[in-house]
Amino acid sequence: MKVVKYSSSYKDQWNDLIKKSANGCFLHDRNFMEYHSDRFEDHSLMFFEGEELVACFPAHSAQSVIYSHLGLTYAGLMTSVVKSEASITNQQNLIVSSGLYPILVTELIEYLKHHGFKRLEIKLPPPFFDPYFDEHYDHLFKYKFEITEESQDLVINLKQGWSPSHKKTAGYRNGKFDSLKIRVCDDFSEFWEELLIPQLRKRHNAKPTHSLKEIQLLQSRFPSQILQYDVEFEGSKIAGITLFDFGNILKVQYAAGNDIGFEKNAMDFLYLEIIKEARALGKQYVDLGTVNHRDGRINHGLMHFKKQLGAVVTPVIEIALDLRP
């Protein structure tokens, strides 16, 4: 097997594999990754069997550490798949090439050691993003990776049923939702500037991961995958949610409302309507995001809110490997 550092001449090959991979998504497309190329020194890797690209590894380096990837929700080895006969009708029967993953991990570690890296850090996907998560997880820990961080992600598995709390759906019965209207739009500016940025600053002394300019750029590149839903009351926007559509997974990327929005329970209404739409479209999961503060502590109020929407906790982990002799 040959391991090659990514360069722009491989862009089409890279993107093609990501589209066909078992565990990659548009976050790993070079057109997404490179929006913040000024912040990270790219050291992504490509794995070839002969002339065939079989895996990609989104990564960047800083000093003697390689990260996969601080600028992405998750990363790790993105693997090609081989279709079994049954997979023609059942996508869940896609299988990773026999014995490929442990070979990839070995080749990755040998490459990094040969090039003088002393540490490898990987943000693993939530389990529902990778149909082979358990298999991959087991292989990684045979190489003495250690868990360095664990977050709590709240997710709804629509195939297992969905049961929001009676309290969350009360607005349908008492008429509180009747005056609220949902709009789908491609203009992020009002939500970003009037709702998201002020609320993050007020509640968490934080700011969005993406600037308005960045989210507008990304949405222009991925118009079908990056969506904006807003709630209006008497002609004014009072709440909104930014969604990333990963096919069978719909992920809440940002959510915010103003004081009127909270008074009107607009966030409850918007979440419920989005989840109902996801179910009607045949999505399997709605990912409501993590509930951890930056220091790792759990935001119990946020966890309670998401559990009332019908979500359950799924651990998301980051791992590291000491590469020193």
Q: Supply the DSSP symbol for 192.
A: I
User: What CATH number labels 2-143?
Assistant: 3.40.630.30
User: CA separation (Å) from 276 to 63, 157, 271, 273?
Assistant: 47, 12, 9, 5
> Along the chain (325 residues), what's the average pLDDT of each consecutive run of 10 residues?
97 97 95 92 96 96 96 93 42 50 95 98 95 89 94 97 96 96 95 97 90 97 98 97 98 97 97 98 97 91 97 97 95
pTM for the whole structure = 0.91
Q: Where are the domains of the chain?
A: 2-143, 158-315
* Topology agreement, domain 2-143 and domain 158-315: yes
pLDDT tens-digit map of 297-314: 999 999 999 999 999 999
- Give pLDDT, residue 36: 86
- Give pLDDT, residue 81: 67
Long-range contacts of 186-194 (CB under 8 A, 24+ apart): 186/219, 186/223, 186/228, 187/228, 188/212, 188/215, 188/216, 188/219, 188/228, 188/242, 189/216, 190/230, 190/237, 191/228, 191/230, 191/237, 191/240, 191/242, 191/256, 194/237, 194/258
Amino acid identity at 75: A
Which CATH architecture is the domain 158-315 placed in?
3-Layer(aba) Sandwich (3.40)
Is the Cβ–Cβ distance between 227 and 187 less than 8 Å? no
